[in-house]
Amino acid sequence: MARHGLALYIQALGEDGRWGPFQAEQGVAYEFVTRAPGYAVTHTYRSPFPRGSQLVHLKTSRIADADLPAFSIIELERHRGRADPYVCHIVFDGRTVPPAKITLPQLQSRPIAAEIHTDMIERVVGRTWPAKESHVVRLELSQ
């Protein structure tokens, strides 16, 4: 996934953590970048929003000591339940029994994808970022 143009929305958050309003276009996937003291720069790639929402929670990630040697750290999150491969078919970077997190041990600047097959197929594609520069990638599925 490549970025197209400048950021559509930039905002520094206050003490309460609130942000917005953000008007998403139907059918468009977005990358949200969050920065907070003590956390990694978190690149959240979201599949398109299925409907409007008054509340969108953006999480920042920390890098665990065990993951420090990794080139890139990619986390998978499903908002509507667990990522249970026995309930629905989920693919994360080609793995059909997906872990919640993948660490890449060597330089691989590339796209990375996750998809879920329920009554429809939902797919989100992001790109790897270097963990050594304190970046973490999150792929979020809305289904």
Higher pLDDT, 16 or 124: 124
Confidence (pLDDT) at 98: 84
- Checking phi first, is residue 134 left (phi over 0); if not, alpha (psi -120 to 50) or beta? left
What is the percentage of the chain residues whose pLDDT exceeds 90? 45
Q: Measuring CA to CA, how many Å separate 26 from each of 18, 32, 74, 78, 128?
A: 23, 16, 25, 19, 25
* Banded pLDDT at 8 (limits 50, 70, 90): confident
Confidence of residue 133 (pLDDT cuts 50, 70, 90): very high
pLDDT band at 125 (very low <50, low <70, confident <90, very high): very high
Q: Which pTM was predicted? A: 0.88
Q: Of 20, 69, 58, which Cα lies nearest the Cα of 140?
A: 58
What is the percent of the chain with per-residue pLDDT over 70, rounded to a whole number? 90
Task: Give the pLDDT score at 18.
Answer: 81
Q: Find the mean pLDDT for residues 2-29.
A: 80
**How far apart are alpha carbons 119 and 38 in whole angstroms?**
40
Q: Give residue 3's pLDDT band: very low, low, confident or very high (50, 70, 90).
A: low
| pLDDT at res. 58 | 86
- Band of residue 45 on the pLDDT scale cut at 50, 70, 90: very high
